Amino acid sequence: MMRPLIYTSPYAWLFWAAFLFAYVPEFRLVARSRPVVAENSDRGSMTLILIAGWIAFPAAFFVAGWPPFILAKGQKIWFVFGIAVLLAGAWLRRHCFLMLGRYFTGNVKVVEGQTVIEEGAYRWIRHPSYTGGMLMYVGTGLALTNWLSALILLVVGAIGYLYRVQVEEQALQTNLGEPYRDYMRRTKRFVPFIF
């Protein structure tokens, strides 16, 4: 019976090193994301993303060993590809942390004096941090070498992020006005020139 590579050395070490490198900064972001009592622009989107993660990750790891769904053909290639996608997503998220600076928060809020950021990846898409998050989810699933794990993480993650984007774009349009609406007309949400 074939097992996912994350259960064997040295793949387990590589997986957990990449996983922790990618996700530890996310845990720190969540820990400092406490909305002010009077703030309600987040509309539960941070909570939804957290609940989605609490559901998706245990489910993805639980099904990772189910033989019918293991990516048995080219398993090592899928594993390496998954690690690469996971790290690419983490890199994109960190790039977004840098580009937005103090405006990058876990909960949706617009800071007084905030402007539309169009540097780096934001020149091409409106939500590169969520693109990075989805890459991290899919990369984790592929590194588990199980297509059902990847699908669970993709679908549940997408549900959380799609709601979050609606909430965030409404808050930005309300608070930044026409400059943000103009930015929306010129850019796609997640994938340059496509979507």
Residue 146 and residue 69 in contact, taking contact as beta carbons nearer than 8 Å: yes
Task: Locate 182 and state its tokens.
Answer: 């103009």
More confident residue, 121 or 4: 121
Give the global pTM.
Answer: 0.90
| Beta-bridge partner residues of 146 | 70
So what's the pLDDT on residue 40?
A: 57
| Boundaries of every domain in the chain | 100-190
* Per-residue confidence (pLDDT) for residue 148, from 0 to 100: 97
* Main-chain dihedrals φ then ψ at residue 125, nearest 5 degrees: -140, 155
Does residue 159 register a pLDDT over 90? Answer: yes
* DSSP code at position 3: -
Examine the pLDDT at 33 and tell me if it is beyond 80. Answer: no
Question: pLDDT by residue (tens digit) across 86-97?
Answer: 999 999 999 999
Q: Which residues contact 76 (CB under 8 A, 6 or more apart)?
A: 5
